[in-house]
Amino acid sequence: MIDVEPLIVSELEVLLPLPDGGRADWQDVVRRAGLDRRGVVPRVRGRWSLGYRKSLALVLLAVAAIVFLVAPALGIVPPVLDFFSSKPAPKQVIHQFDLLNVGAPRGMSPRVIAGQTRLVTTYHRHNGMAFPLWVAPTRKGGFCFTFGYSGGCAARKPPTRSEPGDHNGGAIGLGRYGSTVLAGYVYDKHIANLEVRFKHAPTVSVPLLWVSPPIDAGFFFYDITRAQQRQGGPVAVVALDEHGKELARVAWIFRPKPAWFDPRKVADLSKKHVILRSGNASIAIAPSRTGGNCFWLREGYGPIGTGCAPPRYQTVPMAGGLSHGTDFTVFSAQVKPSVGRVELRFQDRTQVVLRPVEGFVLYTLPTSHWPRGHRLIMAVAYSTAGKQLARQTFDPKQVGAYPCSKPVPIGAGETACP
């Protein structure tokens, strides 16, 4: 049990030492209160008639309406939603956020404060489908959010003022959900206007919903219409400051994936063949019409991964990782032709050497390497001359990476193999 009181006292002291009292000015308080020297409020009678007060009330009402309704639309007063005044989330939503903390590799947990989840707003698609936006702060200073069936977590990033061009620099967090919904968040408070630009359709300005700290970000949602789709669809989301200067632009998300990316489009399936087997896992390849090979990684009857990449797109000597299921853990990697062997090192100091076949290595970890103390900790790629070209480390404590007979509770009502 930690006694937090001394910590709070010392941290708050560092944060904000007791200020000096040089500004204290009691006479200023008295003046502001409208008191005379004797401490009495001077009375003024009959100054405002009932009619005058009614008129004044109407004027104030009109001003309030302008401030709250018209001005935000004109971008004069940015509306800021008070986060903690928003509707708290029900248990099942809190549970969803709790799950985000569970089972993440060490240092990767978003550390979301699920109990503080709030319903920030509810967006709607053109067809009426509702997208409630739930947001929760994280202990890292960022936030996690879900809307509809998607969401994510955002780390706090400093506001970015970038030069014009196709760039982002952390200013816009943009996601594409389904084929028509664009949604995300911005941090940079210099952003006064967010635009969706289309190939042929007119540019659209998307409202930003600014949410107060601890979230301190602006959210947006836009459902692309069929007409806009027919006219070539969106080509960029652009953030502008109040003077119209471009601060950030995200365009890559709208560019079609290159043809070489998709095995269904470029693989010569008549030449597909298995090159590696290890346990129940296998890797098959087929030549791609755009150069290099496409690959298919399988375990038993199930696919684990697939892809195509011309050799020039592999920039590192070894790119791989662990794949795991309820009864297997497989190491696989794609390696450059210069790699002569890959050495797997385990916690118990045993080693396994893999020889690449057509640029791939594959190893199904036996049950003896599932328990803690025996797990994979490193993969090292060597050239044929024995020079170390690359190394990749693995966290043996990662929850859920290895099968087990007795999963244990890991929080939020979930269980996983330790």
Residue 294's identity, in one-letter code, is C
| 158 CB-side CA count, 13 A | 3
What's the closest the beta carbon of residue 174 comes to other proteins, in angstroms? 22
User: How many residues of this chain interact with other proteins, rule: CB under 8 A?
Assistant: 50
What's the closest the beta carbon of residue 218 comes to other proteins, in angstroms? 10
Which stretch of DSSP H or E encloses residue 263? helix 263-266
The DSSP annotation for 34-78 comes to T--TTS-PPP--S-S-HHHHHHHHHHHHHHHHIIIIIHHHHTSS-
CB-based burial of residue 381 (10 Å sphere; 0-12 exposed, 13-18 middle, 19+ buried)? Answer: buried
32, 243, 349, 406: residue in contact with other proteins (rule CB under 8 A): 32
Q: Where does this chain touch other proteins (CB under 8 A) — which range of 27-35, 220-228, 368-376, 385-393?
A: 27-35
Indicate the SS3 state at residue 192: coil
Pattern 146-185, other proteins, x by CB under 8 A: ----------x-----------------------------
Whole-angstrom Cα distance, residue 410 to residue 418?
Answer: 8
What's the closest the beta carbon of residue 81 comes to other proteins, in angstroms? 10
Residues in the chain: 418
54, 139, 161, 230: residue in contact with other proteins (rule CB under 8 A): 139
Pattern 206-245, other proteins, x by CB under 8 A: ----x-xxx-x-----------------------------
Proportion of the chain in helix, strand, coil states, percent, rounded to 5: 20, 40, 40
Whole-angstrom Cα distance, residue 240 to residue 248?
Answer: 7
The structure tokens listed for 336 are 């450059």
**CB of 111 or CB of 391, closer to other proteins:** 111
8, 61, 62, 274: residue in contact with other proteins (rule CB under 8 A): 8
113 binds other proteins (CB under 8 A): yes
Rounded to a whole number, what is the distance in angstroms from the first to the last CA of the chain?
Answer: 24
For residue 159, whether the previous peptide bond is cis, meaning omega lies within 30 degrees of 0, is no
20 binds other proteins (CB under 8 A): yes
What's the closest the beta carbon of residue 240 comes to other proteins, in angstroms? 16
CA gyration radius for the chain?
A: 30
Q: Where does this chain touch other proteins (CB under 8 A) — which range of 76-84, 262-270, 324-332, 343-351?
A: 76-84
- Binding footprint of other proteins on the chain (CB under 8 A): 1-2, 4-5, 7-9, 11-12, 14-16, 18-21, 23-26, 28-30, 32-35, 38-41, 77-78, 80, 82, 84, 111, 113, 116, 137, 139-141, 156, 189, 210, 212-214, 216
